[in-house]
Structure 1
């Protein structure tokens, strides 16, 4: 249960901040955002605010912001249709009743001759006296079909009406916010945990370590080990690791008092399979607001370059599917991070956020990077790519991505049972 909750919180945060970036910059450009969704599939929860419906959906596999004009409008009104019109105080149409007109006795029932809900915002229709009347439509009017209201999208509120720069920023803002989130999480980690200091000084001592049994205390400054001076944390730990099960003398300074304490490092196996000593101490740390900000930037840059190093293996032919984790693998690693504490989970979430930002910026169809490529081509050509052709490319890209997810997930499952 802890793993599940941790996964939902971490993944939900990453998706939320990504889609929130799209939403904020799309709205700043004046684009009507119909829905802000976390997850896919059936709705679990929803509410409406400032023209946008916010939903949580059943399948936690991502999210989306549905902007007006990106997809064909699902409600179409043609000449000859009988519709109901509800006018506001300015005699502009504020509701257009498509069906179930009997439930809206306040509506005027008319027969459509011409309708333009994108540019002119007018409806030319015949009223009950068979007279032709022209109605002005409010730009925030709503279409009511099966008692479900959908706000109309005049051309100036649609995605396609905005400049290439505005559309590009709305798309780029999603991955950008993932990098911002990573920077914030890394900075908070350093603020709460402190910054590691390369000093020959005892940091936090674990309860089960031999250092506590021997009498070492947090804050002790190590002057030498076995009469050999040590000047840094790296020097000190190197001596400890080289002497498993061998007693060594620590000459320390404790609040101005010189002491010599004998410690026998316990033995453990390092990642290379070799025996090494350890005594159960943590590296000393210090707290600094400026240092934490620098640490946040450095860690974000480190993980960015590391991910690009892995992706570069595709060009050299050294890339392996084992370098990639799907939903199952991420779920498993999130559980392991959560078991090690909130701060380890925080760093894991930050690393995942960088990963999500980079993957979304790759020039892959159906991803943000693929959409930016088409916007770049539009800027060069001076006109947009045929929407049907672009849609087909994104559809094929999405299908291939879905296939990749299946392969990676199968590989994740196999690794769990190896």
Structure 2
């Protein structure tokens, strides 16, 4: 229930801020071009709170927090009483001014992303160096010769600092023939390794880009010693104690924690005998395992070694360097989004990878629960995605309007009304189809 509340709250805050900034872009440039703005609305539907500003604009927060709009004066639709009012109409402005007003929304999204990342980098984000852990046998990484324990320092000649950088760089390579990793071994020697991606099977619902290539993120060793026992768990209802070291289950020796975890998961609701080492002596303790949707559980947490200090760092900069970093990361996100859209069109990426409102809400909730810096990073990604989406030349979106204005500029007169009307209907059909696909994908992931 708590995660659901985080998802709903994070979704409303993230989308509200991103959409508000988008609409403010339209609003700000419209006012600079002398257009009278009638309504500035955050959300759709019935207004929950409304007031009129000194500029004559009605500002409101509406009931459905799934978007927003700026309604400008249109002398061909709204009642006007003078030539001055006609001159304040959006439709009365030059094609260049109308183009600038519409373009300002997506551009505002990119500015918002830069600002969010700028704040994030000034606050500082805890990060770890991309040190490679275990390599999966017969995987792409093993066949390419990726060494365990090495640090990834660049992907396709682009320097990376942490695993987030690596992940974004690899996502961009989905559908490509290969990618090149630059790794530094423990002796400080760098080498370039080419990963062939022709057989790369990446399912974002199942594992990460890194794991799907056969690489594991380095993690400190986990012992078999019990560090924590959950209340009202199978372990709590048995004689197990914190500090016990598990050496066997049902008489089978357990060499590492992964063996223990796998055995427990495969035996839900079964009575097992856990052999532990306590005060130098072995004891056999019967435990009735729990059942969590067909997966066995015991309710314990093992001790884990501390993460090496030399692998950890804080990604933090001063105001100028953080601004530069924000611009660079926003540009990377724009390139990644454009690359994914291109691959969706060419078929290199399946539409099953698209996420809709439910997926965005889950992402917002997860990042919000991690902390402010992670939430800022997530909002930057959503803002860039919204900006790019709105620039697509699809009628009903800003990009569709921009296309009409370009045609009007070339022809010297507006696109005929009946063609615009047909185009808007086609655009609505496209958008509704995309919405259905993304919702279907989201629901499929929820029940997968």
TM over 0.5, yes or no? yes
Give structure 1 stretches of 5+ with no counterpart: 76-115, 120-138, 140-153, 201-227, 233-237, 247-265, 270-276
The residue aligned with 2:16 is 12
Following superposition, the deviation at residue 372 of structure 1 comes to: 0.2
5 Å-filtered alignment, 1:108-119, equals 117-119=81-83
Following superposition, the deviation at residue 399 of structure 1 comes to: 3.4
The residue aligned with 1:127 is none
Give structure 2 stretches of 5+ with no counterpart: 132-185, 191-214, 224-255, 260-303
CA deviation digits over 1:305-331, x for unaligned, max 9? 111111111342223222211111101
Q: Which runs of 4+ in 1 moved over 3 A?
A: 194-200, 228-232, 238-246, 266-269
Tell me, yes or no, if the aligned pair for 2:9 and 2:365 is still in contact at 8 Å: no
The residue aligned with 1:155 is 86
Tell me, yes or no, if the aligned pair for 1:195 and 1:287 is still in contact at 8 Å: no
Following superposition, the deviation at residue 230 of structure 1 comes to: 5.8
Tell me, yes or no, if the aligned pair for 2:353 and 2:441 is still in contact at 8 Å: no
The residue aligned with 1:56 is 61
The residue aligned with 2:48 is 44
The residue aligned with 1:72 is 77
Greater gyration radius: 1
Asked if 1:297 corresponds to 2:327, the answer is yes
The CA RMSD over aligned residues, in Å, is: 3.1
5 Å-filtered alignment, 1:186-197, equals 186-193=117-124
The residue aligned with 1:280 is 307
- Cα distance change on mapping 1:239 and 1:340 into 2, 3 Å: closer
Following superposition, the deviation at residue 199 of structure 1 comes to: 12
What is the CA–CA distance in structure 1 between the aligned matches of 2:218 and 2:257, rounded to whole Å? 9
CA deviation digits over 1:62-98, x for unaligned, max 9? 111111118723x6xxxxxxxxxxxxxxxxxxxxxxx
5 Å-filtered alignment, 1:6-405, equals 6-49=10-53, 50-69=55-74, 72-73=77-78, 117-119=81-83, 154-193=85-124, 241=218, 244=221, 279-281=306-308, 283-285=312-314, 286-405=316-435
The residue aligned with 1:207 is none
Following superposition, the deviation at residue 390 of structure 1 comes to: 1.4
TM-score (norm 1): 0.62
- Cα distance change on mapping 1:349 and 1:268 into 2, 3 Å: farther
Following superposition, the deviation at residue 185 of structure 1 comes to: 0.7
Tell me, yes or no, if the aligned pair for 1:195 and 1:292 is still in contact at 8 Å: no
What is the CA–CA distance in structure 2 between the aligned matches of 1:390 and 1:159, rounded to whole Å? 17
- Cα distance change on mapping 1:239 and 1:179 into 2, 3 Å: closer
Following superposition, the deviation at residue 290 of structure 1 comes to: 2.6
Q: What is the SS of the residue equivalent to 2:47?
A: strand
**Higher-RCO chain (CA-CA 8 Å, sequence separation at least 6):** 2
Tell me, yes or no, if the aligned pair for 2:20 and 2:42 is still in contact at 8 Å: yes
- Cα distance change on mapping 1:195 and 1:37 into 2, 3 Å: same
Tell me, yes or no, if the aligned pair for 2:125 and 2:373 is still in contact at 8 Å: no
TM-score (norm 2): 0.58
Following superposition, the deviation at residue 279 of structure 1 comes to: 4.0
What is the CA–CA distance in structure 2 between the aligned matches of 1:239 and 1:279, rounded to whole Å? 18
